[in-house]
Structure formats: structure tokens, C-alpha cells
Amino acid sequence: MSTDLESQLRVLGRVLDDSTVPVTGREAVDRVMINGDTTSLHPSGPDNVQTVVTTGAVDDFASRGRIRWLSVAAAVLVVAAMGSMALFARSDPDPFAALEVDLSGATPLAGAERVEPSDWVVAAELPDGVGWLYADTDDEAPSLTGESERAVWYGDSPLADARDRYRVSVGGRSLSSGGDAIDIDGTAWTISPYELNRWIATRPVGPSFVAVSGPGVFDVVDRDLIASLVVVPESGLPATPLGPVDQSVVVAQTELGETSYTLAAQESNGFWCFAGRSTNEFGYGCGTAIDPADPITIETGSTTSLYSADTVKAVRGGTVATQVARVDVEFVDGTIVSVTPTDLSAQFDRRFWIAAADIDTQTQPGSLVTVETVVEVRAYDNDGRLLAAKSPPSPNEQAPG
């Protein structure tokens, strides 16, 4: 056997190709035909080709994953009655079907001269497979007029990487500098790169800025999304927006020495914001989707830069399922802190934990490096049985922001 890794990978590549039957064009077309009577496809096919789908209605406005505002308004009453937890039902093949904006009171953004501070900007058309995730408000970066930024988030899965989401906001400051001017349906936008592998499009609307950002390279579907933007009142949103940080409620608390640490949370439609506080420290993050079936999540806390200190105060917090009676948090120096998960607000169907410890940095190699302070979090039931264990992702694998 070759010991050269590259050679081994080349062999594996040949095996993968040999063991996988190539896909044919006929197979792809057959799949469209099979699904044609059940999924409201739009079977256009190449130019001048007669339709090959012989059953089922062809409906230009029903392509899955797209929000067509002319048709959505009629569906809103039905949608409103559906529970938000359907979003995370693992057996649901289309988790976004239940969450759509009421566009009956919508007006196109293209012709708007201003957006009222109580209004939101949403997309009436989305790329295939992309749907509503949540909305939030942020008063940390108000516009020049002092209005809070209101943002709606879209994505192809609630649990997917946040960097793959689309974001449409109004009311904040313009974050981009420079960029390419582009005309979209008679309206001037500025397109710029934004963060790694994302683009952002901005335009002023009266005293406010509207900003749209999305993953990858700006493409025709992104242009369609921007062209479809409409202004809606907050009552048109399918779920209450996550609010500013001061709307979070304390759900768990712990002490270390004379310092008290609290974890505060707020939730909308399965998405959460968490705020960790101590006497002189504060951390806040929003937009986390939690699968209700997940026994443990690790949401907030410190990854600590080790300088010359012998010890650092390490704090971590998160959530557990309601049947969890005890959480053990093992830190990198071997310290294990046991806490009882709580919901001090009595508002949620999750329990919350926060654990703090002085950890010995001498056990860590080197200095001036960023390390995760927690090795593992373990959840136990009332009988002391281990229900689940989870380790946080390494600092290098965590999404920025």
C-alpha cells in the first residue's frame, strides 16, 4: 500500500467515480415528470421544447420556495394558523411552507420615497429553496434619524450556516463604501463585496438606508430578489421580531467568587438571542436556531486569549431539553462544574445553564493563542443517566460574528 497521502486520495477518487453510476439527462427529466403532478413544477425545459409533463397543473406562481406576493395574500390566513414549531419538524420536507409574509398591504420599495420607522422591507420573491427564517431589530446602530435597524433573514435551512443566509434591512447606517452602481428595474443600487464570500447591495430611501446581503457572488437570482422588495407594516410579518438586547429575560444565573453571571434569552419562531452578563462583561448574539429535539446546545461564553495570566475566568452558557436535570461542564484544565438547568423566566420550553470557573492556563500549550475553554458539556436526567454530551466547535471552525 502506498504511504503517500495524495496517491491514496487519487485511488479513492477513482473508486468513488467507479462505484457511482453517472447521471443521465433522461434521468433528470424523468424525475421532473414523476414529480410533475405533485409539486407544482414549472416545466419549461429548453427553448422550443414541447412540455414533457403530461399530468398536473402548470402554475407560474407556485414554484416551491418562491414567495409571490400576489398569491401569498390569500394564503396568509391558513398560514397564520400553523404552529411555528413546524419549522423544525424533521419529517417536513419543506420547512418554509408555513411561514410567509402577509403582503396584502405591501407597496413596492422601488417607488417609495421613504420607509416609516414602523415599516419593514421584505422580499416578495426568493431563490428556490430559500424561505423566511426570522426578523430582528437592532438599536445599536441607528440611522442618522435615530430609527432602529429592522432586518429580515432568509435561508434554505434554519440550522444551516448563518453565512449562507440572505438579510434585508432598513433603518441602519450604510456599511459599504464604494462598489458598483447597478440599475435594478429603474432604481439605482450599489453592489459591493461584504465579509468573506458575501455581497451587499444598498440604496438610500429618504433618510434611511436599505441593505440587502447574500451569500456567494451576486447573481441573477439575487437581482430578482432585490427587484421584488416591498414595504410592509410589522403586522404583516409572520412572527414577532426578535427585539433589542434589553428585551431579553434572565433565564439562568451562577456565581464565581463575588461575581454573578447571568444568561438572558429571547425567542421568536425557533430563533434565539442570548446575552451573557457579569459585573463588567457583556456578550450578545442573535439568530441562533435551536432544534427542540437537541438535548444540548452551547450558545455563549468565552474563547479566551491566553496571555501571561496563570488563570482565566471561563464562562459558558447554553440550553438543554426540559428533561435534563443536571449539566456537567468540563473545562480544558479538567475542572468540572455541575449546574442545575433553569428557566428563571418561566417563559420557554427549554432549560438554560451557565457555568463559570477559574481555569488553570498553565495546562495549555503556548500563549497568545485563542482556545476554547470548554472540552465537553454533559446532560443527565433525574436518575443520573447520561442523556447526551456535546463539545463546542473549535475556535477555528466557528462562524465569524
Partner 1 sequence: MAMTDESDAGMVAFNAFVDRMEPRLRQALIATYGPADGREATVDALSWAWEHWDQLAEITNQAGYLYRVGQSAVRRFRSGAVPWHVEGAVETEPHDFDPGLAPALDQLSSQQRTVVLLVHAHGWSQADVARTLGINPSTVREHLARAMTRLRNDLEVHDVH
Footprint of partner 1 (CB under 8 A): 1-13, 15-29, 31-32, 35, 41-50, 52, 54, 90, 93-94, 128-130, 156-157, 159-160, 196-197, 215-217, 219-221, 291, 396-397
Cα 355 from Cα 129, distance rounded (Å):
39
Cα 353 from Cα 374, distance rounded (Å):
14
Least CB distance from residue 48 to partner 1, whole Å?
5
Listing DSSP states for 171-239 in one string gives EE-----S-EEEEETTEEEEEEE-STTEEEEEEEETTEEEEEEEESS--HHHHHHHHTEEEEEGGGSSS
Cα 213 from Cα 231, distance rounded (Å):
17
Least CB distance from residue 132 to partner 1, whole Å?
15
Task: Return all residues near 225 (Cβ < 8 A) that are at least 6 apart.
Answer: 123, 125, 126, 127, 166, 212, 214
* Nearer of residues 36 and 241 to partner 1, judged by Cβ: 36
Neighbours of 37 (CB within 10 A): 13
Least CB distance from residue 56 to partner 1, whole Å?
13
Least CB distance from residue 300 to partner 1, whole Å?
21
Taking Cα atoms as reference points, which of 355, 320, 319, 353 lies closest to residue 335? Answer: 355
Least CB distance from residue 13 to partner 1, whole Å?
3
Taking Cα atoms as reference points, which of 336, 246, 235, 239 lies closest to residue 284? Answer: 246
In a 13 Å sphere around the CA of 220, the CA atoms on its Cβ side amount to: 0
Least CB distance from residue 128 to partner 1, whole Å?
7
Cα 125 from Cα 66, distance rounded (Å):
5
What is residue 159's three-state secondary structure?
Answer: coil
Task: Return all residues near 74 (Cβ < 8 A) that are at least 6 apart.
Answer: none
Least CB distance from residue 237 to partner 1, whole Å?
24
Least CB distance from residue 390 to partner 1, whole Å?
12
* Nearer of residues 165 and 313 to partner 1, judged by Cβ: 165
* Nearer of residues 70 and 196 to partner 1, judged by Cβ: 196
* Nearer of residues 31 and 114 to partner 1, judged by Cβ: 31
* Nearer of residues 38 and 382 to partner 1, judged by Cβ: 38
Cα 54 from Cα 56, distance rounded (Å):
7
* Nearer of residues 52 and 386 to partner 1, judged by Cβ: 52
The C-alpha angle with vertex 167 and arms to 163 and 173, in degrees rounded to 5, equals 110
The C-alpha angle with vertex 269 and arms to 131 and 213, in degrees rounded to 5, equals 40
Least CB distance from residue 230 to partner 1, whole Å?
22
* Nearer of residues 100 and 119 to partner 1, judged by Cβ: 100
Least CB distance from residue 291 to partner 1, whole Å?
7
Residue 181: Cβ-neighbour burial (10 angstroms; 0-12, 13-18, 19+):
exposed
* Nearer of residues 258 and 397 to partner 1, judged by Cβ: 397
Residues 121/170, Cβ–Cβ less than 8 Å: yes
Least CB distance from residue 190 to partner 1, whole Å?
20
